[in-house]
Amino acid sequence: MEDRNQSRPAPSGIMFWVLILPAAVVFALCVLAPVWRDYTALRVAEQLERRDVEAFEKEVADQRRHFDALREDPLAVARVAQRDLAFTDPNATLVAVDVGPFARLVCSDQPLESIAPPHAATRILAWIPYSDRVDLYTGGRTRSLLLVLSAAVIAAAVFLHTKPSSTMHTSEQ
């Protein structure tokens, strides 16, 4: 009676790599795509925070100039007294100017930096179909399914490529 392991054909190195490479690529995309998405979100948040810090630094510099002017310039003190305290000279002519509610609106014209993957990763991803579909590799159900399937294909490739051990070989005498 012939053993089952003896009837199994010899493992092929080509088939091993045909199974391993696509499964490893899908597995790597499922693992790295959420990390890349989080990284880009952090970079965008960092750029927005940098803009806020620059706006606050500008505001502090404006306040410091205003404070220095109040300390050293008597005309600045007179302007603040006229504006804030409604102090007026009886002989002065007042002209009301409405600056509107958006006079202090700070808007940055500087666009956010684009965040691109490293050059080598871009070249590799150009060869992989659906690699631009990040939602495919980061979505809850599809990501879990792709991870399980690619891990199963890797396990099957390793199992099929292992040579039968001599301990499993039993022959009748």
Contacts of 11 (CB under 8 A, 6+ apart): 160, 161, 162, 163
Q: What's the alpha-carbon Rg for the chain, to the nearest Å? A: 35
Measured at the CA of 27, the angle between CA 26 and CA 29, to 5 degrees, comes to: 65
d(CA 60, CA 66): 10
Computed over every residue of the chain, the mean pLDDT equals 78
**Do residues 146 and 30 touch, judged by C-beta distance below 8 A?**
yes
Q: What percent of the chain is predicted at pLDDT more than 90?
A: 15
Amino acid letter for position 15: M
CA distance 85 to 78: 10
Separation CA 42–CA 36 (nearest Å):
10
Q: What is the mean pLDDT of residues 5-14?
A: 68
pLDDT (tens digit, 9 = 90+) per residue, 87-145? 777 787 777 777 665 555 555 666 777 777 777 777 777 777 766 677 777 877 888 88
pLDDT tens string 44-62: 899 899 999 999 999 999 9
